[in-house]
């Protein structure tokens, strides 16, 4: 009787040893073998240039005058000449230069 119990215990222990040895195989079957999809590198779109109303000293009236002259945002203001800005807004050239310098510091 002891031999039968020892034989059964041996078989169960052998089966447990085999299952323990192959545990990684059982676990890996359960996980997905699909590769991770590739990620594509794209350049982030450039944020739009802020409007000219963020410039100190440009209120709604001056903003409308500049927009009528084709200067819609800070980037265009930064590239404009002081004489053009002064003429379009009806201000002095010194004030126009100040606005342009502020626009250049934003961009």
Please state, in angstroms and rounded to a whole number, the distance separating the CA atoms of residues 13 and 73.
79
Please state, in angstroms and rounded to a whole number, the distance separating the CA atoms of residues 100 and 48.
18
Mean pLDDT of the 63-71 span: 94
Question: Among the ranges 1-5, 25-29, 50-54, 85-89, which has the highest mean pLDDT value?
Answer: 85-89
Please say if the pLDDT value at position 1 is more than 90: no
**For the chain, which residues make up each domain, given as ranges?**
52-106
Residue the block writes with tokens 């590769």: 35
Please state, in angstroms and rounded to a whole number, the distance separating the CA atoms of residues 43 and 41.
7
Mean pLDDT of the 40-53 span: 80
Task: Quote the tokens at residue 106.
Answer: 């934003």
CATH superfamily of 52-106: 5' to 3' exonuclease, C-terminal subdomain (1.10.150.20)
Query: What pTM value is reported for the model?
Result: 0.56
Q: Is the dihedral of CA 37, 42, 48, 54 positive or negative?
A: positive
What pLDDT, on the 0 to 100 scale, is given for residue 29?
Answer: 53
Please state, in angstroms and rounded to a whole number, the distance separating the CA atoms of residues 96 and 86.
5
């Amino acid at each position: 009787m002891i031999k039968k119990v020892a034989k059964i215990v041996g078989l169960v222990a052998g089966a447990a040893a085999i299952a323990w040895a192959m545990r990684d195989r059982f676990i890996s079957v359960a996980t997905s073998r699909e590769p991770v999809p590739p990620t594509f590198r794209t350049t982030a779109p450039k944020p739009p240039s802020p409007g000219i109303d963020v410039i100190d000293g440009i209120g709604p009236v001056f903003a409308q005058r500049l927009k009528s002259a084709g200067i819609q945002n800070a980037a265009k203001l930064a590239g404009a000449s002081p004489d053009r800005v002064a003429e379009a807004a009806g201000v002095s050239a010194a004030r126009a230069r100040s606005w342009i310098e502020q626009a250049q510091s934003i961009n």
